[in-house]
Structure 1
Amino acid sequence: MVSRTRRSSDDSIDPLSRALAPPARESAAQRAAREAKEAEGRRVSDLIDEQIKLEKHANSRKKTPVKVLMLGQAESGKTTTVKIFQMSYARQAWEEERMSWRTVIHLNLVRSVNRILDALENAQEIASRMNLLRIRLSPLRRVQVDLERHLGLAVGDEVCAAADMGVFRRPAEVCLRSQSGWAAALGLAKQKTRIPSGRSLADGALEVILNFLEDLYRIAHRDYEPTDEDVVRARLRTVGVQEYRFVIESGREAGREWIFYDVGGSRTHRGAWHPYFMDVKAIIFLAPISVFDEKLEGDARTNRLEDSIKFWTTVCKSKLLVRVQLILFLNKCDILERKLARGVSLERYIPTFGDRKNDMPTASKYLRRQFLEIARKHSPEPRRVYSFMTTAINTRAMTSILGAVREGILNDNLRSMELVS
């Protein structure tokens, strides 16, 4: 029979508790000294913990960029939003780049006039009355070619001769290929391609603009410098995925880099955004709600708002995005308001709108609720979606909204690194 040795009462005490227990027969003076020493130890430990946290925060600011994925169909306002972010938080870089937009703005202007001329040629009932105007403005055809050549675009061909720059032309716009960003086109604009007279193609084009568009005194001026508003409204269409890097220049986040991935919104390019899901802190989805009465370019059977809703639903359903902060911009509210004021019926294109009042407050509230309901219904897990009614070209309002969005992304980022509670 195996005998059992009785355990002493001390054996049942946890070793850690025993180590922390005060000495036996401790005097009052000894106890006071011990407690003072322990308090000092805790104070030093807390200081060390705080220093570690601060160093971790500082390292994160230096090494960890904040990555944001911009999603939305073509012409939803993604690139415009990125411009305003740069204008607001990387001002010096914005100022250095702004003059480079001059040629792009002139090209946007000339192309718009030429599109009007094209439309007039097809309008037989007014063509005879517009012949003189068309003759006077016909040199703008050559201006467009010169400006496109100045930006490095191939004349008479869709693909840029300098293919590595990733810029090519379409009948009504300048397009940027994947990974080039607008900097590629603007870099080309800075390089003066000389003609025999010693003046650049862009200078020659400006002379024609001055002669034929006399009413546009501000833009068609030899000393014209683009304003912030001009650049925000300038059009460079994104094709593929563009990467834009901005270093915050002031404030508590000075020195932190933000990276925006601007994904081309056409349906043929949407497969490109999947690889970016794994490494972004937030997604800003832009849904242009003014397009309820428009069709997709190249697909006359698909309503643009319907396409945007389907795109949004796909994003909300993705299990890869459950931990990514989701921000919704219901964009182009200014255009929606103008359409409704003209009497364009929302119910005609969205029957579920019913007999509600066909005005901006009612329509915007309805559309916002529909998008948020999609997120609630289709998200794999319950999540909060931050939504804003926006007009991307309204720089003042967008700066305020982006400020709130930036703070939200930063706070969420810090929480994920356990830097704030």
Structure 2
Amino acid sequence: MRVLVVGGGGREHALVWKLSQSPEVEKIFCAPGNAGIASLAECIPIKAEEIEKLQNFAREKDVHLTVVGPEAPLAAGITDLFRENGQLIFGPCREGAFLEGSKVWAKQFMAEHGIPTAQFEIFQNPGEAYRYLKNASYPLVVKADGLAAGKGVIVAESFREASQAVCYIMEEKAFGGAGDSIVIEEFLRGEEVSVFAITDGHTFYPLPPVQDHKAVYEGDRGPNTGGMGAYSPAPVLTKQLSEKVNKEVFEPLLRGFQKEGITYRGVIFGGLMITTGSDLRVLEFNVRFGDPEAQVLLPRLQSDLSPLLYEAARGNLRAVAPPEWSTHTAVCVVLASRGYPGDYEKGKEIRGLEKVPEFKNAAVFHAGTAFKDNKTVTAGGRVLGLTAWDPSLKLARHKAYSMAEVIDFEGKYYRRDIGYRALERS
């Protein structure tokens, strides 16, 4: 099988890494890829958003399966384009991608199909939003409607903070057209967890739960990022709660897609809040593997990934057995550039990568890296994901942080408390 992976971050490196282990896969292309992916796949200089070029490339190279990593090309309709041309692709259609691409659409869909979520209001006019905020209860959450690289959600503790958020999103256009509409919703208290399923639109196979760390600083402080680390499994999601997720989230979601005629063949990624009394609410949906969640899920996958993605893309997921998982715990620690998620410098030499093979049951997934003058250098805010897996969280965590000590670059920053919630439970 010849596979094209679309994207160039840590998630895509993890996908390529796992697909490269499959006896079914003879060749992997990755567009655009990065310095780490280049050791496993042929990197193609086509951006993830250049969907027409990707479709032409897949046809010219006789690609049997295209796997889409990031959300932007899905929102742009890459799946629809491929399917119109008879090419197999893993990822939802453009309308299905609204689940992530539009917070307004997603909230209305959840309300329509009985999926538990926070109470919310929708605004297209900032003046109406300000008037609503005067009598609102705090804290609350202000969300930009469209894609904002994981940074369009602001928790406001007061009328002043909420008004500033509305102004920032709707009037200052911090996220461009993504802020033309906003969602203002109640603030939920509890513990967050990420849930995933692979689906062909009818059958779904749930994946183990993951807990990520979005805030940039220890103790979940500071601005949100794309993710500073993750671990799996997440003990907050018990077996009983997992069954509840299947019945109250995944099943009604797929029924809703079917009712509305949406062809959804890809990953469902739900961000949940587990509230007091073991109740659950959906904070948001994403339509692809998470990053860095993929970096802890895929190392735990004992089954072959390629048949799962291939049969889901064909609409025939039942043709392959449910995935099997290691009992090990996986931990990923993200090394970021100083200044992230704000401005940061690029082009810093990364040292110590040659020491990685010394660590067993471990992998380094490149997120923002490039080659320059025969050296691997930084090329993004999140630079590397250091993943380790072991029988216990403590052992896996120790190994990941040991890697963080031997790999270095100017301005390196990482959180030192990844997995702290699970450690408190142990």
- Name the TM-score, length of structure 2 as normaliser: 0.21
| Max Rg structure | 1
- Name the TM-score, length of structure 1 as normaliser: 0.22
Could you say which structure has the greater relative contact order, defined with CA pairs below 8 angstroms and 6 or more residues apart? 1
- Return the structure number with greater helix share: 1
